[in-house]
């Protein structure tokens, strides 16, 4: 079953030229066709008028709807066929405006597609789409934020939040916005998240250093004794975005085992000369650096300390203001 809203109005014979002009009633109704068709449940808008008029011209604007709720929602919009006709009262015959809402009988087979769409698309497909978009947003934004330094990530997050509020405000205040605008905004958002997340992932992958695993040498401890721990070994654990301990001690020539327990990319860079000579350390550089110099989330690294006895600053080059610590060499 279809639902039909029919708006009838008469244009005064002396106002026909005005009604068909750029600002006239007939022109406004034609311009409204796309906006009406974009409404959920709309099956089309048909506009007809008296042929070979003698005197006043009768205009009939008929919108057809898949269900009564869709037709009722359209009737409450600020701009619809009825409101357009009322806005052009100067062109119409007084008291000639009529609005009728009717039901159009049709076969059950023809009604089935609309019924399936209303029940499945709204109750199932839309929530699934919203969930998929939310997961893509979480993944894409998290990869982008973690790939950026904190000084850039915070303004970007604020800008995205303001943009979302602005878009939501626009569509909430314009319920009759064309469908192409909604699809366009959704498409741009999905493309931005996909491209940004992929670029961030490729950036992290490109900055990884492949560490060859050392050849294991089997050793058999003496009978009744246990395998001794490495001399001067120490531990540095890191999370997002902090070191779990503010300081670490190690003997000169000792090794530091480093574990990234977060999901972001980090490293350990020691200021051997009292200050950081380079912004990002390298395993082949002059300043002590974790090996590899880029530690992905869940990854591990090592650092052999050959510095003279003393206290040195160390940091994560990816989060230099948030992740700092002290290294004491004995």
Domain for residue 101, yes or no? yes
Instruction: State the burial class of residue 51 (Cβ atoms within 10 Å of its Cβ: 0-12, 13-18, 19+).
Output: exposed
Claim to verify: residue 98 and residue 116 sit in the same structural domain:
no
10 with 98, same domain?
Answer: yes
pLDDT of residue 208: 53
Indicate whether 57 and 70 sit together in one domain.
yes
Number of structural domains, the chain?
A: 3
Share above pLDDT 70 across residues of the chain, in percent, rounded to a whole number: 82
The residue segments making up the domain with residue 310 are: 234-329
Structure confidence at residue 160 (pLDDT): 83
If asked whether residues 16 and 91 sit together in one domain, one would say yes
* Residue 290 included in any domain: yes
Q: Please, which pLDDT band fits residue 289 given cuts at 50, 70 and 90?
A: very high
- Residue 212: the pLDDT is 43
166 belongs to a structural domain: yes
pLDDT greater at residue 131 or residue 25: 25
Residue 226 domain-assigned (yes or no): no
Please report which confidence band the pLDDT of residue 36 belongs to, taking 50, 70 and 90 as the band edges.
very high
Write out pLDDT tens, residues 95-104.
Answer: 999 999 998 7
* Per-chain mean pLDDT for the chain: 82
Residues 85, 26, single domain; the answer is: yes
Is residue 220 included in any domain, yes or no? Answer: no
In a domain? residue 251 = yes
**Residue 40 clears pLDDT 50, i.e. is over it:** yes
The whole-angstrom distance between residue 189's C-alpha and the CA centroid of its chain comes to 5
Q: Give 318 or 133, the one with higher predicted confidence.
A: 318
19 and 95 both lie in a single domain: yes
| Higher-confidence position of 198 and 96 | 96
Q: Same domain, yes or no, for 65 and 29?
A: yes
Q: Please give the Cα distance from 11 to 9 (Å, whole number).
A: 7
Q: Which of 89, 105, 121 is the endpoint of a domain?
A: 105
Please enumerate in sequence order all residues whose Cβ is within 8 A of that of 192, keeping only pairs 6 or more positions apart, or say none.
140
Residue 131 sits in the same domain as residue 86: no
Regarding pTM above 0.75, the answer is: no
Round to whole Å and give the CA distance between 105 and 89.
33
Task: Identify the pLDDT of residue 203.
Answer: 65
Strand partners, 243: 238
With pLDDT > 90 as the criterion, what percentage of the chain qualifies?
A: 44
The whole-number pLDDT of residue 228 equals 40
Higher pLDDT among residues 203 and 103, named by residue: 103
Q: Tell me whether residue 186 is in a domain.
A: yes
- For the packed helices 179-206 and 126-147, what is the interaxial angle rounded to 10 degrees? 40
pLDDT value at residue 284: 84
Residue 196 placed within a domain: yes
Clarify whether residues 280 and 321 are in a common domain: yes
d(CA 290, CA 286): 12
- Which of these three, 59, 85, 105, is where a domain ends? 105
Least confident of 134-143, 178-187, 218-227: 218-227
pLDDT of residue 229: 40
**N- to C-terminal Cα separation, the chain:** 87
DSSP 231: T
Q: CATH no. for residue 23?
A: 3.30.70.100
pLDDT tens readout for residues 204-263 = 665 554 444 444 443 444 444 333 444 457 899 999 989 998 899 999 889 999 999 999
What confidence tier does 65 reach under pLDDT thresholds 50, 70, 90? very high
| Residue 215: predicted pLDDT | 41
Q: Which of the listed residues 66, 87, 105 is the one where a domain comes to its end? A: 105
Residue 264 is part of a domain; what is its CATH number? 2.60.40.420
């Amino acid at each position: 079953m279809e639902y039909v809203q029919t708006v009838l109005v008469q244009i005064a014979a002396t106002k026909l030229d005005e009604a068909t002009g750029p600002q006239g009633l007939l022109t406004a109704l034609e311009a409204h066709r796309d906006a009406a068709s974009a409404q959920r449940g709309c099956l089309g808008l048909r506009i007809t008028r008296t042929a070979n008029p003698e005197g006043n011209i009768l205009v009939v604007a008929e919108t057809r709807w898949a269900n009564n709720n869709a037709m009722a929602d359209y009737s409450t919009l600020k701009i619809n066929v009825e409101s357009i006709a009322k806005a052009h009262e100067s062109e119409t015959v007084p008291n000639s405006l009529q609005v009728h809402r009717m039901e159009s009988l049709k076969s059950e087979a023809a009604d089935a597609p609309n019924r399936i769409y209303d029940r499945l698309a709204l109750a199932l497909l839309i929530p699934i789409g919203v969930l998929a978009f939310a997961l893509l947003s979480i993944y894409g934004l998290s990869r982008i934020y973690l790939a950026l330094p904190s000084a850039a990530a915070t303004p970007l997050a604020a800008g995205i939040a303001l943009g979302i509020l602005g878009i939501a405000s626009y569509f909430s205040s314009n319920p009759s916005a064309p469908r192409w605008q909604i699809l366009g905004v959704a498409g741009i958002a999905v493309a931005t998240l996909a491209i940004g997340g992929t670029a961030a992932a490729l950036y992290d992958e490109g900055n990884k250093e492949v560490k060859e695993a050392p050849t294991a040498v089997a050793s058999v401890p003496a009978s009744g004794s246990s395998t001794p721990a490495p001399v001067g070994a120490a531990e540095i654990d890191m999370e997002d975005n902090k070191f779990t301990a503010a300081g670490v001690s190690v003997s000169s020539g000792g090794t530091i085992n480093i574990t990234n327990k977060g999901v972001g990319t980090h490293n350990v860079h020691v200021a051997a000369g009292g200050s950081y000579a380079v912004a990002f350390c390298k395993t082949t550089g002059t300043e002590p650096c974790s090996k590899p110099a880029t530690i992905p989330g869940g990854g591990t690294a090592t650092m052999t300390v050959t510095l003279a006895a003393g206290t040195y600053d160390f940091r994560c080059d990816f989060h230099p203001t948030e992740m700092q610590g002290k290294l004491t060499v004995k």
